[in-house]
Amino acid sequence: MSWRTVIVKNRCKLSYKNDYMLITSDGNEKTLHISEIGTLIIENTAVNLTAYLLCELSRYKVKVIFCDHQRNPYGEIIPYYGSHNASKQMSKQSQWSQSTKNNLWKTIVAQKIIKQAQTIYRETGNSSACEALMNFAANVSPGDLTNREAHAAKLYFKELFGPKFSRDSSNDINAALNYGYAILLSAFNREIAAAGYSTTIGVNHCNEYNPFNLTCDLMESFRPIVDSEVYKCRNFAFDDFFKSRLIEILNHKVVILGKEQFLSNAISIYVKLFFRTMETGDDELPEYELI
């Protein structure tokens, strides 16, 4: 199943009736069944929502993202309990062994760097940078103690967006990257919560002020999908067209476990196999390939 990402841009009222979300604007009313929605982005601060609708969206595990006055993602709603056995799942999560976490983080980082190498070669044709990144991936240690991830990122972003590019700069490219990453973050949050686990207890990320430590861990190897889309649109202003392209990444087709899937479905498969891997101690995680 593929859920829709719905974005609300204009001044309107959102309410709930009989499993439908009602969108009322200028006296006109549209309806959308909540079961069809995966993510709802409230891009306009003038949008009015009822508490009833917000509760039902949470019950259906719909991710609701709120944007600030500049229309950039600022926060989201996560239900307290995404699964009937959430208490049991979180108890197991708190007891994950450090060695298993280190091995999983090694796999995640290596996958991420490999995807970065493939992105560089696909978008720029730079074989030497691709080879350098593949060497970084081959030398990731458990827990990434030698910080191959950071070394690879430094090379990767400068090759993709130019030698003067910095992730710390304030520009349209970084705004677009952050917007796309927020879409990914929301998709992973949905699956983690639905499985009954906490997004706060990570494998590598452990910032006490970050409510999404685990989410940040699991989405790492999927970030290059956003990077690739931003690269394709890099000469455009960061406008509604650009944002719509980023929102559509969840409907991109990928191959995972030998089958063609929408990215939203692939994320669900990846998260479920991650938790199974944590329980069995096996450090194998599936890789995806873009179509």
Q: Are 133 and 111 in contact, with CB atoms under 8 Å apart?
A: no
- pTM attached to this predicted model: 0.86
Tens of pLDDT, residue by residue over 157-200, are 999 999 999 999 999 999 999 999 999 998 999 899 889 999 99
User: Higher model confidence: residue 90 or residue 2?
Assistant: 90
The yes-or-no verdict on residue 122 having pLDDT over 60 is: yes
**How many whole angstroms separate alpha carbon 258 and alpha carbon 97?**
30
4-77 with 86-290: one CATH topology?
Answer: no
The three-class DSSP label of residue 15 is: strand
Residue from 143, 96, 139 nearest 278 by CA = 96
pLDDT digits (tens, 9 = 90+) for 185-195: 989 998 998 89
Residues 274, 288 contacting (CB under 8 angstroms): no
Give me the CATH code for the 4-77 domain, please.
3.100.10.20
Domain residue limits, the chain: 4-77, 86-290
Q: What is the mean pLDDT of the chain?
A: 91
Superfamily of domain covering 86-290: CRISPR-associated endonuclease Cas1, C-terminal domain (1.20.120.920)
pLDDT of res. 103: 93
Q: How confident is the model at residue 283 (pLDDT cuts 50, 70, 90)?
A: low
